Structure 1
């Protein structure tokens, strides 16, 4: 569970913006466009999660002293 929290899935909703071009282009029934949009969404989620993990790791020493951030997975030593 801590590994999932490390990826911050609660932030993935922002990546739904990649579906706006599909909506506005009128290609809602185009399977190729839908597949490309799903791939873009998955890519954005993976890249943003990787960025969060790198940031957690880079800030781990400072965040262990922070009153609110000390209990994150890397900072607390659980991951």
Structure 2
């Protein structure tokens, strides 16, 4: 089966100062900050730790993927 190539994940560098299209796991736990912690550019996503020292996440819905098709995602 051939791997499919598409831009399924929108991965902005957060330079707009906006988190969208990423969705935080809880309200008010993720914000886009300006500062030296950015790996590239001037902005980065800051995730607060959840109650009980659990991690919060950001995610986004994947659309337009075909069933029974193999996709490769990289981080």
Structure-1-length-normalised TM-score: 0.24
**Which protein is bigger by CA-based radius of gyration?**
1
More helix per residue: 1 or 2? 1
**Greater fraction of residues in strand:** 2
